[in-house]
């Protein structure tokens, strides 16, 4: 009756030796089905998407964004967690030499950080009575 708080029949995550190596021929071609397959593989490898996000120090939103848009950093992390290369999981997003295909090839993956203190005083958006 109170099965929520106790283990059912000793079920646990499968041990690492039970995880079968991935066959690239098993990866679905349909992107929606492929994403579900990737999530399943992450879970059986002991690293669900939420846990992967925690390990990377990010929210789970970028991990979910990989489903719809290229995100090389996250794609590399997912591939590493599955013990493969990103080109195997997303052949349409990666070149065979391991570099991401980009719409804007000169753009860096990480934006350069700007200095926080520019030394400029903020300009008020409206004048006060003293200034009029």
Greatest CA span in the chain, whole angstroms?
Answer: 79
Q: What is the pLDDT of residue 69?
A: 87
The one-digit pLDDT tens for each residue of the chain (132 residues) are: 444 444 444 434 445 545 556 777 788 888 889 999 999 999 998 889 999 999 999 998 989 999 888 888 999 999 999 999 999 998 888 888 888 887 666 666 665 555 555 555 555 556 666 666
Question: Which pLDDT score is estimated for 21?
Answer: 64
DSSP one-letter string for the chain:
--GGGS-STT--PPPGGGPPPP-GGGS-SSHHHHHHHHHHHHHHTT--HHHHHHHHTS-HHHHHHTTTS--HHHHHHHHHHHTS-HHHH-TTTB-TTSPBP-SSTTS-SSPPPPPS--SPPPPPSS--TTT-
Nearest to 70 by CA among 96, 109, 41: 109
Nearest-angstrom CA–CA distance, 53 and 120: 37
Whole-number Å distance between alpha carbons of 132 and 35:
60
Q: What is the pLDDT of residue 20?
A: 59
- Give the model's pLDDT for residue 119: 58
* pLDDT at res. 38: 92
Q: Which domains does the chain have, with CATH numbers?
A: 30-102 (1.10.260.40)
pLDDT of residue 131: 61
């Amino acid at each position: 009756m109170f099965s929520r708080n106790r283990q059912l029949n000793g079920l646990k995550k499968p041990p690492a030796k039970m995880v079968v190596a991935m066959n690239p021929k098993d990866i679905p071609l349909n992107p929606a089905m492929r994403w579900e397959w990737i999530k399943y593989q992450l879970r059986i490898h002991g690293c669900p998407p939420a846990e992967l996000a925690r390990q990377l120090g990010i929210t789970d939103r970028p991990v979910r964004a990989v489903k719809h848009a290229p995100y090389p950093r996250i794609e590399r992390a997912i591939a590493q967690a599955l013990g493969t290369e990103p080109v195997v999981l997303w052949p349409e997003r990666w070149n065979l030499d391991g570099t991401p295909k980009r719409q804007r090839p000169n753009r860096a993956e990480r934006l350069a950080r700007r200095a926080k203190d520019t030394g400029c005083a903020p300009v008020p958006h409206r004048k006060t009575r003293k200034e009029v």
